[in-house]
Structures are given as structure tokens and as C-alpha cells.
Amino acid sequence: MVAKKAGATFLREAFSLEQRLLQVQLELSAKSVTHAGVQGEVSENRFLDLLRQYLPARYEASSGIVLDSLGQTSDQIDVVIYDSQYTPTLLDQKNHRFIPAEAVYAVFEVKPLINKPYLIYAGHKARSVRRLRRTSVPIIHAGGTYPARPLFDIVAGIVATDVTWSEGLRSSAFARALGSLNSDTRLDAGMAASGGCFDLYDGTLRLGSAERSLPDFLFRLLQKLQTLGTVPAVDWSAYGRVLSK
């Protein structure tokens, strides 16, 4: 019993410190970096480093542009969580990469605040990814062939330092702003390092406390990624046809 209590206390205190460290890092970049673009890039990298620390090896996280087999591209996305086991990225140069649409599990925008304009902005970024064409072909294995995997819905969300509403994410204004997004622009999850977290993974709005926003957000995201399973097998011949035209 003592060991169980000690273990639970350790986990709570460790994640509390991790959350406080993220808060300090985000606040430091906001106050010490004067150029908005550079400040945004610093914040993105903070969150990417955090995700890479906790995501299983089958996933990768980076900023980039999502590309489909028709040659269509998304907007530049702050954080893309994608398959690193079966799907290569394309035309990588330094920290810039094109990620095949079939490889994408989730996309997030990193902003200073969760407010209505940034929710709408993140929703538009999500739409630029969801509108892309994704292929799926049968998978050949030693015993035969698995049928082509059905496509899952790509998860989208927002990560920020704080929340603009005085009541935080429990504000009715937040619920209205989130509800105003449509099926293409919807945001499934979000976290403010100093202001709580939310998700709609179960079909209803679930809110997490400001004190545990980081672990609540991370473990719910990991659970959601687990339910998505493996990404579809890419029809590489479709990509090849674009190049042959």
C-alpha cells in the first residue's frame, strides 16, 4: 500500500513539474522573443519536444506540409503526428518536410491563447489537411492479402499557453466558439498549459482541470491514437502517376 501511494504521488508530482516547466518555457518565449514568427517557432518546438518524449516509436511529430497523390498540399501545419514505421516523408530539407496524407494521424496548431479567432484559425488549418485525398490499398502478407483499410478521421486540435476567457474552458463562450466549427474544421482536442484541456473524443465535450491539463491531454491523446490503429497502405503508383504526367 505504501508503495502504491508513493508511486501515485510520484506520478502526480512529476507531471506537475513537467507542466510547470512547459508553462515557464512558453512564457519565456513570449516575453524574451520579440519577433512573432520566431516566437511561434520556439513555442512549436517546445511542444514538439514534449510530444516526442511521450509518443511511442511508431509515431513521429514535426511541423510540415501534408501532400496527397494528386499533388495537392495543405497549409503549413505547426504539429503533425504521423506514421514513422510504414510511410516515408518526402523531399525533406532541414526541418521542412512533405508528409503523405495517408501517414497523418493528427494535426495541431500552437498559439499563445485559446480564443475564438485562434479556434477558427486552427479549424481552417485542419480543413486544409482533411480535404486532401488519401489512398488505401490491400496489404500483402505471408498468408495472403488483407483488404484495404478504411480511412479514419484525422484528429485536429490546438495547444496554447493560456485561455482568453475569465472562466477558462468552462465559459459558455468557449463552448459556442467550438460548436461553431463544422465537420471539416472541427477541433477534437486542445490544451492550455495554464488553463486546462478539452476533447471531444467520446462525442461530448470533456474538460480537464488547469492543474492536470498536461497529463490529461497527453494520456487522452495517446488513447485516441491507439484506437486509430495503423495508417492505410499508400498507393504509391498514384503518387508515381503525378510525376509521370
109 given a catalytic annotation:
yes
C-alpha cell at 130: 482533411
Please tell me the distance from the alpha carbon of residue 231 to that of residue 100, in angstroms, as a whole number.
11
18 given a catalytic annotation:
no
Do residues 43 and 36 lie in contact, with contact meaning Cβ atoms separated by under 8 Å? no
Please tell me the distance from the alpha carbon of residue 42 to that of residue 177, in angstroms, as a whole number.
27
CB-neighbour burial class of residue 219 (10 A; exposed 0-12, middle 13-18, buried 19+)? middle
Q: Is 24 helix (H, G, I), strand (E, B) or coil?
A: helix
Do residues 102 and 135 lie in contact, with contact meaning Cβ atoms separated by under 8 Å? yes
CA within 13 Å, CB half, 143: 2
Please tell me the distance from the alpha carbon of residue 158 to that of residue 57, in angstroms, as a whole number.
23
Which residue among the candidates 60, 109, 162, 199 is catalytic per the annotation? 109
Look-up of cell digits 513570449: 30
Which residue among the candidates 44, 68, 78, 199 is catalytic per the annotation? 78
Q: What angle do CA 211, 213, 215 make, to 5 degrees?
A: 105
Do residues 70 and 133 lie in contact, with contact meaning Cβ atoms separated by under 8 Å? yes
Which residue among the candidates 60, 68, 83, 111 is catalytic per the annotation? 111
111 given a catalytic annotation:
yes
Catalytic residue IDs: 78, 109, 111
